Chains A and B, each alone.
Chain A
């Protein structure tokens, strides 16, 4: 029988294992998230769906207006991938940017910022914008948006809907 005269110091190993476990969990969650992004979808919906868009008004020049609620409680986990906007008339080379936030009113957290290009002399018109990176949002989440506009004239009002695909309507590619 071999006797270990100087056993290795294992103090702290449990903590290291816990860290590794947490990292593995994070990697698995991230992989799942990407697999969900790489999927075929058959059920894109607008938020709000089959209803008039939500009016969002910017504040003074280059300042975000108030958050406006797009949905109080998302019905199902969904992948946000775009925005359908009716932009107001512009008389100069104004541009805007929009933010999407999640969380209750008064504690919104920004999850995306989307630049909205301007065009001189555009009359109020519709425009669809893709998110730079789709966002997976959990069911029951409140989603709100706000907009900043570069024009010095003051507040501008946009009509907006978010575009999303509920997870239940997505099928992993190659499945």
Chain B
């Protein structure tokens, strides 16, 4: 299958479910018919954005999700500190 080099980044998703399949600068040409393509000039920022299957787009991460991640990180640190005998 021939390839196509993009000027920016291509995000390939399942056209039915919106599930993100691949992030690429080189894509199959043509793409398999079951896949969709979102082209962006620059890669998305994983620290602040996340893929939303329904919208087929990268949108800001929900603050509640960010908070959950921070809490998980803190808990992991506490477990590790306890394993090392405390501070």
Contacts and interface: CB of A to CB of B under 8 A. Distances in A.
The judgment on whether A and B are partners is yes
Interface of A: 55, 57, 59, 65-69, 72-73, 89-91, 103-108, 120-124, 142, 144, 153, 155, 157
B76 A89 contact: yes
Given A66-B22, A89-B73, A157-B46, A106 B80 contact: no
Contacts of B29: 104
A68 B10 CA distance: 11
Contacts of B42: none
Nearest to A157: B46
Interface of B: 1, 3-5, 10-12, 19-29, 31-32, 35, 37, 46, 50-51, 68, 72-73, 75-77, 79-80, 82-83
A122 B22 contact: no
Main secondary structure of the interface of A (DSSP, over half): loop
Main secondary structure of the interface of B (DSSP, over half): strand
A59 B50 CA distance: 11
